[in-house]
Structure 1
Amino acid sequence: MATRRDPMGMGLAVLNRIASSSALDRLGLRKPAERAVYEGAKGGFRVAGATSRAFRSVAGGGSPQRLARTADSGVFDLEPTEDQAMIVGVVKEFAAEVLRPGAAEAEASNDTPKEVLAQTGEFGLTLLNIPESLGGLSEDRSAVTGALVAEALAEGDMGQAVACLAPAAVATAISLWGSAAQQQTYLPAFGGDDVPPSALAIAEPRVLFDPFELHTTAVGNADGYVLNGVKSGVVRGHEAELFVVAVDLQGRGPTLVLVESSTPGVAIEADPSMGLRAAGLTRLVLQDVQVRADAILGEGAADDYRECIRLSRLAWASLALGTGRAVLDYVSDYVKTRSAFGEPIAHRQAVAFMVANIAIELEGMRLVTLKAASRAEQGLDFSREVALARRLAGEYGMKIGTDGVQLLGGHGFVKEHPVERWYRDLRAVGLMEGAVLI
């Protein structure tokens, strides 16, 4: 993994935000956060700036601010940097102490609690891919860090992880592909503690949906473009203030468009799902929605849209890693304590081999996912690696969920144990498009 060029470290900037948050006391994370900051303080501090929300349109030209690509060190190293280890350590504490205990309640309510979302905003999750000059924490691309954070969150609960990462997906899209005016209009809102609920809407409610064959359209007129269509799997659309929507631009191909929720013709419908219920999935209905010509994200380049799809699939693969790890840890303990015929079932060879296979499959998934993330942040072609990551995450993620249920026997089918929820969440990995982005 490439090392940041900034010697102060992005990790300390994130941890400083965490340590100054009053929500740490409410969530019981004060001590681990202070411990991490103390250890990291030896290398210095950098305080991230906070700005208040204001979707006031900013006109003007100039060049957009882009994150630099990380340099290729020439060394194949999967050991996280100190910055990454510090960030992931605190996120794991948060996932274990907050997301995991609240998962059942969040699923029952089909939403993630606002205090949980507020805390992730204070952590600075939306800032990982925003340039420092625009109120973010980065100078370089941080796809590997994003993958590690998504994995850590999903180890607590995938549904809540998706809800927490949804605003970051929009901030990342604007940072990577938005124009200078779009960046200055929207990104300052993501630098404050009150992060605007936002969603990346790509999927459509169609059989065999292809993100490169969209039915949601944008047709030009004298005032800009008129949008029509329906998007599915939109995270917390009932509260979202800003959407990045994939549309077919006048029959020329897929393009990303910025749509504010207050725009006439925007409507939200319920979209009940098998899994990811804590993500509060909805449908976004666009009926004769008029947007200005400058609502097209950046230059509307086809390469930008392709990269968006790849980075989204990379994020889903990372989420699968975290949930798969949760399954492995849970069943490993279960088979050692569950006895049958006078001995733990872990002593049965068939059971032991099934658990071992889960561990092997996770290692393969993780290797190709991190390789894809590493190439992405270096600006190298990562299309092959992300295709492999999606294939493995979709296939083995589902198998891990199935094996987890099987290893628990009858207990795997009831809500007393969380494995049945993880099974349903993992089923989404090979199907979902958009929603998250790293």
Structure 2
Amino acid sequence: MPATRTLPTAEAVDLIGLTRELAEKELAPRVGDAEAEERFPREVFRTLGRAGLLSLPYPEEHGGGGQPYEIYLQVLEEIAAVWSSVAVGVSVHALSCYGLATFGTAEQKREWLPRMLGGDLLGAYCLSEAHAGSDPGALRTRAVRDGDDYVLNGAKAWTTHAGHADFYTVMARTSDDGSHGISCFLVPADTPGVSADPPERKMGLTGSATATVRLTDVRVPAGRRLGAEGQGLAIALASLDCGRLGIAAVAVGLAQGALDHAVNYARERETFGRAIIDHQGLAFVLADMAAAVQSARATTLAAARLKDQGLPFGSEASIAKLVATDNAMKVTTDAVQVLGGYGYTRDFPVERYMREAKVMQIFEGTNQIQRLIIGRALKQHDRGTLRVRNGEN
């Protein structure tokens, strides 16, 4: 059963209704085959783009939806409850637009952002490298200035949409000044020298293409640098705060989908003359699953409201990502248990949900990294900020 939501506007209610309808009619009939065949559903992203769901958190003046993160994340949830690979893709696309939307010049935004947010283009985010996953400051991809251009060389690992994206937001080193020597570039996918390796063979999210992007003498005009030289890591880290909220919402939606399947099965399956949901032992498992989903949702939306109010939210985003993804792993594991032997077969989607939940604890910064971020924030903890919601201090 879908999540119960309290939404701030009639427009938000309509948006969630549209998302549920698209998920039911466009996503649900495709998800099983696409995941089994490890096929990237590019046409689904075009459908979502035409519906305006790829651009929700960005300004209307540039073709975005102008929605607060509180609403955008609930849209991600609704998609993830049906198809996590697609929900992750929507989050990654939003992440790939962040550098331009937030740090680009007015001219850069006017030139590129409307097309990126229009629904026809799909983005990818290139930060991680094979030797620099949790330590982005150690990246080695180079961007060397050559007249009015930069020439990029290197390889970016674990890139979602690699080989299918229309543009890549790439972090590359422009100097040897450690974390201050990284810059950000917007690279069209058809630029000569850009290529993608075959997709990784993953345990889950098999409908999402993940591969290494290779940059070989890729010439990019200096006008495609976002922000100043050396500002790239700051852009990347700010992007990741938003991306962590996106993945938290995807994890909540994934857990909601697993809970829904488990409850429906428990209502229909009978043992000893009654539905298994009527057995206290199993009812308690389902109750714990529901509590985990609700608490993860509340934590994620609380962090989103801080962002929407313009308040610091980095630590809260890490908490949301940690809580939501750990809870998703527990909920999906319990969903398999509820279905018993059937849960371990591919005749039911809960085994897929369980495989998909695992990576949620890994990408956008492992949950061990989230604990480091949270711990560091606690060292600097003050009394916090009091503010009337949607008002002034």
The alignment's TM-score, normalised by the length of structure 1, stands at: 0.75
Q: Which residue of 2 aligns with 1:334?
A: 265
Q: CA deviation at 1:192?
A: 4.1
**Residue identity in the other structure for 1:269:** D
Q: Aligned partners of 2:77 and 2:319: how far apart in 1?
A: 17
Q: Which residue of 232, 242, 257 corresponds with 1:311?
A: 242
Aligned residues: 354
Q: Aligned partners of 1:136 and 1:312: how far apart in 2?
A: 17
Q: Call closer, same or farther: CA 1:164–1:391 in 2, change over 3 Å.
A: closer
Deviation digits for residues 163-184 of structure 1 (CA, Å, limit 9, x no counterpart): 3454343334421222223212
- Asked if residue 277 in structure 1 is aligned to residue 201 in structure 2, the reply is no
Q: Aligned partners of 1:432 and 1:358: how far apart in 2?
A: 23
2:312 aligned counterpart, secondary structure: coil
Q: Which residue of 2 aligns with 1:266?
A: 194
**Residue identity in the other structure for 2:211:** T
Q: Call closer, same or farther: CA 1:345–1:132 in 2, change over 3 Å.
A: closer
1:125 aligned counterpart, secondary structure: coil
Q: CA deviation at 1:203?
A: 3.1
Q: CA deviation at 1:357?
A: 0.7
- Asked if residue 115 in structure 1 is aligned to residue 43 in structure 2, the reply is yes
Deviation digits for residues 3-22 of structure 1 (CA, Å, limit 9, x no counterpart): xxxxxxxxxxxxxxxxxxxx
Deviation digits for residues 205-251 of structure 1 (CA, Å, limit 9, x no counterpart): 45x82153342423433334333332233233222221012334423
**Residue identity in the other structure for 1:203:** S
CA contact (8 A) 2:76 2:253 kept: yes
CA contact (8 A) 2:95 2:242 kept: no
| 1:357-376 equivalences in 2 (<5 Å) | 357-376=288-307
1:371 aligned counterpart, secondary structure: helix
**Residue identity in the other structure for 1:92:** R
Q: Which residue of 2 aligns with 1:403?
A: 334
**Residue identity in the other structure for 2:114:** P
Q: CA deviation at 1:201?
A: 2.4
- Asked if residue 210 in structure 1 is aligned to residue 134 in structure 2, the reply is yes
Q: CA deviation at 1:394?
A: 2.4
Unaligned runs of at least 5 residues, structure 1: 1-76
Q: Call closer, same or farther: CA 1:380–1:249 in 2, change over 3 Å.
A: farther
Deviation digits for residues 16-35 of structure 1 (CA, Å, limit 9, x no counterpart): xxxxxxxxxxxxxxxxxxxx
CA contact (8 A) 2:55 2:118 kept: no
Q: Which residue of 2 aligns with 1:287?
A: 216
Q: CA deviation at 1:350?
A: 2.2
Q: Which residue of 2 aligns with 1:245?
A: 170
| 1:158-237 equivalences in 2 (<5 Å) | 158-190=84-116, 192=118, 195-206=120-131, 209-223=133-147, 224-237=149-162
Q: Which residue of 2 aligns with 1:128?
A: 56
Q: Which residue of 2 aligns with 1:154?
A: 80
Deviation digits for residues 101-160 of structure 1 (CA, Å, limit 9, x no counterpart): 21111113323434322211111123323333323342xx62112211111111111012
The alignment's TM-score, normalised by the length of structure 2, stands at: 0.83
Q: Aligned partners of 1:387 and 1:168: how far apart in 2?
A: 18
Q: Aligned partners of 2:194 and 2:169: how far apart in 1?
A: 13
Unaligned runs of at least 5 residues, structure 2: 366-393
Q: Call closer, same or farther: CA 1:203–1:413 in 2, change over 3 Å.
A: farther
Q: CA RMSD in A?
A: 2.3
